[in-house]
Amino acid sequence: MRHATLVPLLVGALLGGCSRPSGAAQDPSTPVAKVDGRAITEGELAAEAKAALVAADARHAEDVWNARSRALSALVDRRLLEARAAKEGITVDALLQREVSGKVPEPDEATLQGVYDQTKATGRPLPPFAEVKGEIAAFVKGQSVEGARQAYLGKLRAEAKVETFLPPLLLPKVEVKADGPSLGDAAAPVTIVAFSDYQCEFCARAEPTLKQVAVAYPGKVRIVFQPYPLNIHPLAPKASEAALCAGEQGKFWEMHDQLFANQKALAPDALKIHARAVGLDGAKFDACLDSGRTAPAVESSRKLGDGLGVSSTPTFYVNGRPLTGALPFERFKELIDWELAHPAR
């Protein structure tokens, strides 16, 4: 029996992330609604919706750029495969069978059971394991084949001369008055402001990339963390408070890493255990956390994000230019390099 909804559930659990306004300009005095005879004008509506519209325009521009970038990558990959297949005197399909799919083993029982258990742990209803085992096997094998395909294409890219001239996505800059904990030189020419949530799995996935950025650009990039706990994550606000409490003892980043490494253990009692694990004075930390004295700072950070139109996490601002999602290092690199090469823009 085939369960048509299972693969989307698996993709969402294992791989997934946490319309553009149109029309002619309106006279700002034009009424768009009335309340007890008192008009709400187009100008008032525009001011109220400004942040959300800026964010929507940015998402649209990013969607267009991503579509062009993916299409360009597909064209480059096709050209590389055709060239190698011609050199070997075989078809592209035969080349991929020999170098990719033919080298990927079938997933074992333990792997399949682990994927099933991981998906079920998200709370999604699933049929019994025996009924969907074959579909899970196909899904896991497909992911492994795609990973092997990308690795092989990476090898071909490294061996060939590949030049791309697609300019980086340059969304309009916005002013971001970030005051959260920071990592790096305060005078660095590039500042990355990260709005993040300790319960967000995609925020956790982005952390290694941010660390890679910090290592790759010493003295050139400063990273500022702004807690932005989403309403769907009930434990995130207190976790954010805990990180700021740790900051009072000079160990914000140690606690920050501890929380992301233990996303399934963020209840208040667990936060106190994490504090001791990173070497904090337990009594001082407990007093801070129980008092809620860092809660206003968390709420202030959330309001900052709201004002910028942040609607999902992680959201980053690279010198004021937005990037959304757990993006690869290359996306940060191209934007950082642009900012370093064009400091006046």
CA–CA separation, 293 and 315 (whole Å) = 26
Question: What's the pLDDT tens digit per position in 228-249?
Answer: 999 999 999 999 999 999 999 9
* Confidence band, pLDDT 50/70/90 cuts, at residue 25: low
Question: What Rg, from alpha-carbon coordinates, does the chain have?
Answer: 24
Mean pLDDT for 97-115 is: 94
CATH code: domain 182-341 is: 3.40.30.10
- pLDDT given for residue 2 in this prediction: 39
Chain-centroid distance of CA 317 in Å reads: 12
Determine which helix (DSSP H) or strand (DSSP E) holds 317, and give its type and residue range: strand 315-318
Mean pLDDT for 65-89 is: 94
Least confident of 8-12, 120-124, 232-236: 8-12
CATH 3.40.30.10 spans which residues of the chain? Answer: 182-341
pLDDT of 94 above 80: yes
CA–CA separation, 121 and 161 (whole Å) = 45
Question: What's the pLDDT tens digit per position in 196-225?
Answer: 999 999 999 999 999 999 999 999 999 999
* Amino acid identity at 76: V
CA–CA separation, 322 and 300 (whole Å) = 20
The stretches of 172-232 forming alpha helices (DSSP H) are 201-216
pLDDT of 185 above 70: yes
The tokens for 31 are 């009424």
* Confidence band, pLDDT 50/70/90 cuts, at residue 5: very low
CA–CA separation, 316 and 302 (whole Å) = 14
Q: Which residues contact 224 (CB under 8 A, 6 or more apart)?
A: 178, 179, 180, 181, 182, 183, 191, 192, 193, 194
CB 278 within 8 A of CB 254: yes
CA–CA separation, 43 and 26 (whole Å) = 8
Measured between its terminal Cα atoms, the distance across the chain in Å is: 58
- pLDDT given for residue 196 in this prediction: 97
The tokens for 140 are 């896991």
- pLDDT given for residue 345 in this prediction: 65
Residue with tokens 């996505």: 169
